[in-house]
Amino acid sequence: MSSLRRRIRVLAGLGVTFTLVLAQPLNPPPAAAGRQPHVEVVDLRVDGRHDQPLGIDSAAPLPAWRMTPTRRSADHPCRRPGSRVACPADAQTAYQIQVAASESDLRRGRLLWDSGKVGSATQSGVRYGGQPLTSRQQVSWHVRVWDANEQPSAWSRPSSWEMGLLQQSDWGAARWIEYPGRAESQPMPIFARAFDLDRRRRVASARLYLSGVGLHLPTLNGRTLSDEVLAPGNANYQLSSEYRTYDVTRALRAAPPPSRRTASPATTSAAPSTSTPATAATTSNPARSPRSAAPASPSPPRWTSRTRRARR
């Protein structure tokens, strides 16, 4: 009798264990269910520009993004035959945008703007509503959304944008350049300026703001700054002229001591492809005074084609 009771107990124990093993896939614990959201936020853009744009000239830029399903959404109940459950990526039910002065501030919650949770399917044209932004200011931002089942995504990867020259006074001492007396039969002029970089200082940031009545081709130390052609585009020159912003930070480096200097001075030039001269304006971090007299580094500088109207 005792032997029979032991067998019953063993079988009962096996039966309970067997039942639990079968039940696990049907009712996963909450931690496993929330391991990865069903949607994610990608393709962050500002004013329609997706490459961490420079030269944003709107005081209230328009962030935008795109929601896409994650791999985990492939196992969602909506994928089962005959299911009437909405798939998570079918609709966005809410969003939240956060903007800060840097990625570090973004992580720490030191924000210039927090939209809070906004119940909306909008993914573009959301106007920035935070603290006023100033010329040349750099900001970082990210966004998260709530899916069709009102479940939140993770925060997107941080992106950034940089403000342009919002005021006419931001051009400083820059003046229009011309080539008086040039005939139509003469080649296009090259406007160049040599400048030195203090080798005791590190270049923190350097931008070239270039505008012209016509088309231009900028170079630094003989190297073109972009693969763009026909820049900056046509405009009503009676009212304004477009400009471009180029990041030339990596193209500048300290010059060797005078006794070892072998390279010719650096130049920034604008060669317009119309009969009307272009105007070049250079700006830099005032505290660092980025200047250059040595050849550019092998890696090409990051450039961004940007458009803004500079009053004549």
CATH number of the domain to which 242 belongs: 2.60.120
How far, in Å, CA of 255 to CA of 263, rounded? 9
Instruction: Give the range among 38-42, 214-218, 288-292 with minimum mean pLDDT.
Output: 288-292
**Is 158 in the same domain as 172?**
no
**Is 234 in the same domain as 211?**
yes
- 162, 186, 214: which is the final residue of a domain? 162
For residue 267 the two structure tokens come to 């130049």
Residue 254, domain extent: 168-311
* Helix (H), strand (E) at residue 42: strand 39-46
Is the pLDDT at 10 greater than 50? The verdict is no
**Is 213 in the same domain as 294?**
yes
**Is 131 in the same domain as 189?**
no
For residue 206 the two structure tokens come to 């350097």
Which of 262, 252, 229 is CA-nearest to residue 300?
A: 252
pLDDT for the residue numbered 1: 52
Into how many domains does the chain fold?
2
Q: For residue 104, how many other CB atoms are within 10 A of its CB?
A: 10
For residue 167 the two structure tokens come to 């005021």
Residues 64-101: tens digit of each pLDDT: 999 999 999 888 999 889 888 899 999 999 999 999 99
**Is 280 in the same domain as 253?**
yes
**Is 180 in the same domain as 151?**
no
Q: How high does pLDDT run on average in the chain?
A: 76
CB proximity list for 226: less than 8 A, separation 6 or greater = 218, 246, 303, 305
For residue 129 the two structure tokens come to 């509503």
Which of 73, 52, 72, 125 is CA-nearest to residue 95?
A: 125
- 136, 162, 188: which is the final residue of a domain? 162
Q: Is residue 16 part of a domain?
A: no
Q: Is residue 10 part of a domain?
A: no
Output the DSSP codes for 104-115. Answer: HHHHHT-EEEE-
For residue 190, how far is the Cα from the chain centroid? Answer: 32
**Is 128 in the same domain as 172?**
no
**Is 153 in the same domain as 271?**
no
CB proximity list for 128: less than 8 A, separation 6 or greater = 60, 61, 62, 63, 99, 113
Q: Is residue 133 part of a domain?
A: yes
**Is 235 in the same domain as 256?**
yes
What share of the chain in percent tops pLDDT 90?
A: 43
Q: Is residue 77 part of a domain?
A: no
β-bridge partners, 194: 267
Q: Is residue 29 part of a domain?
A: no
**Is 139 in the same domain as 63?**
yes
Residues 260-312: tens digit of each pLDDT: 443 333 333 333 333 223 233 333 233 332 222 222 333 333 444 344 445 44
For the sheet containing 218-220, what is the strand order? 191-194, 267-270, 218-220, 223-224
Model confidence, pTM: 0.70
- 145, 162, 179: which is the final residue of a domain? 162
Q: Is residue 13 part of a domain?
A: no
Q: Is residue 15 part of a domain?
A: no
Quickly state the pLDDT bin for 155 (edges 50, 70, 90).
Answer: very high
**Is 209 in the same domain as 283?**
yes
164-187 in b/e burial notation, b at 16+ Cβ within 10 A? bbbeeebbeebeeeeeeeeeeeee
Q: Is residue 106 part of a domain?
A: yes
Give the CATH number, domain containing residue 131: 2.60.40.10
**Is 55 in the same domain as 133?**
yes
